[in-house]
Amino acid sequence: MEVKKGKIYIIGAGPGDPELISVKGLNILKEADFVLYDFLSAPELLDHTKDSCEKICVGKKDGLHLKEQSETNRLLLDKASKDNIVVRLKGGDPFVFSRGSEEARYLRSAGINVEVIPGITSAFAAPASFGIPLTVKNEIQSVAVITGRKSDKDAEIEAPGCGTLVYLMAVANISNVVKALRKSGRKDEVPCAFIEKATRPETRITVATIGTIEEKVKKEKIKPPAILIVGNVVNKIDYED
Ligand SMILES: C[S@@+](CC[C@H](N)C(=O)[O-])C[C@H]1O[C@@H](n2cnc3c(N)ncnc32)[C@H](O)[C@@H]1O
């Protein structure tokens, strides 16, 4: 493929293991003059860039914004306008609970050529990495990916009527997630599991039920980034350490 100058590539870095980026994403990264990346991207990916490549972390962690979104947008625009190959590297898939689509819209409206390179979302990689299927033929036939945190703190968390629910950003707000699950009619015995740092060497799974998960979060000191999977798929776990 030809990597074009004056263009922005919004690339999904994958869930954490640096080898889980796409071949296309990696090939573009190797050509980049300028990379803006998030905290969640596997840091090792930056080792593939040219010596002359300028790299800036614009991520958000524990409520700390290294750059405001407007500043990130302006920076991307400025660098692409100067005929650079610009990469916006984002954890997981850049269009899943991420601001990739907003960035793409802003840049396109400013006349910049943008290409989106999909990534493997942590929502799907985390369960698969521990042998948990999200669907089971003729048994569990739907899955929803939901945010466990809303910008309006009083807004209700969603718990749609799907076979499997996958929550992102649910650790700090676990009590409201549990409330939403109970309100949806799910019983306390329904199994669930938190997977921390999926596909990284330090990954860990904690299996519980809706009734015990809040207590487990405290006892096991579960920390973000983590994915919560809710539903009978958790009983189908097929994992060897
Ligand atoms: C702002 S969202 C970004 C999601 C990302 N775009 C994706 O597709 O995976 C951040 C949340 O993704 C989840 N997450 C990202 N990477 C993870 C990982 N390696 N292990 C577990 N959860 C992860 C966590 O729930 C974290 O709080």
The pLDDT tens digits of the residues spanning 173-217 come to 999 999 999 999 999 999 999 999 999 999 999 999 999 999 999
Q: Rg for the chain (alpha carbons), in Å?
A: 19
Distances in Å between the Cα of 143 and the Cα atoms of 58, 110, 192, 232 are 31, 36, 14, 12
The 10s digit of each residue's pLDDT in 133-176 is 999 999 999 999 999 998 887 789 999 999 999 999 999 999 99
For 65, phi then psi, to 5°, come to: -100, 120
Ligand 1 binding pocket mutation candidate from 21, 39, 97, 146 (most atoms within 8 A of CB): 97
Delimit the CATH 3.30.950.10 region(s) of the chain.
123-236
Over residues 32-56, the pLDDT tens digits come to: 999 999 987 789 999 999 999 999 9
Q: What is the pLDDT of residue 62?
A: 55
CATH class of the domain defined by 123-236? alpha beta
62-100 confidence digits (pLDDT tens)? 555 667 888 888 898 888 888 899 999 999 999 999 989
Q: Give the distance (Å) from ligand 1 centre to CA of residue 126.
A: 9
Told to judge if 1 belongs to the known catalytic residues of this protein, a careful annotator would answer no
**Where are the CATH 3.40.1010.10 domain residues in the chain?**
7-120
One DSSP character per residue, 59-101 reads: -EETTEESS-HHHHHHHHHHHHHTT-EEEEEESB-TTSSSSHH
Active site residue 62: no
Active site residue 60: yes
For the domain bounded by 7-120, which CATH number is listed?
3.40.1010.10
pTM, full prediction: 0.94
Active-site hit among 79, 169, 197, 216:
169
Nearest CA to ligand 1 atom 24: 225
